[in-house]
Amino acid sequence: MSQVKITTNRHSGTFHLRSTNAGGLTVDTDGSPEIGGSDQGFRAMELLLASLASCSAIDVLLILKKQRQTCEDIKIVVTADRVSVDKHSEFRNIHLHFELFGDIKETKAKKAIELSLDSYCSVAQILKKSAEISYDFSIQIDE
């Protein structure tokens, strides 16, 4: 087991927070203007979706590399339906659209994405407990 430590402090304003990891890297979050936030960072739920995309992107890039596929770039657009449950909200439907750039076989791309979302991406495994996760993808080959 490994331990992860994140420290979060108020940075400025009412809800503008800065989280710092053990390596000193930071990410800012903020509340919505409706509750007094100042739009100076991600909302926490947005950051969760960004974490899903980042986690899966790293997996897909590693898997494609092992498959000897040339992926020059990757872009993932995540959309999600958020619903209120009791006093909190959850994502119910999350869709990832993967845009892959390079000389990549479609079957290899599909396999890499499925391995990520079904097995390797820890964020996806956590979110699957409350949300349905779907995906599609496109491949663009630079000529």
Is residue 1 a part of any domain in this protein? no
Q: In this structure, are 15 and 49 located in the same domain?
A: no
> CATH code at 117?
3.30.300.20
Q: What range defines the domain where residue 27 resides?
A: 6-35
pLDDT digits (tens, 9 = 90+) for 16-44: 999 999 999 999 999 999 999 999 999 99
pLDDT beyond 80 at 143: no
Count: domains in the chain: 2
Strands, sheet with 26-29, edge to edge from the N-terminal-most edge strand: 6-12, 16-21, 26-29
Q: In this structure, are 88 and 21 located in the same domain?
A: no
Q: In this structure, are 30 and 53 located in the same domain?
A: no
Is residue 48 a part of any domain in this protein? yes
Identify the three-state secondary structure at position 102.
strand
Is residue 124 a part of any domain in this protein? yes
pLDDT digits (tens, 9 = 90+) for 94-108: 999 999 999 999 999
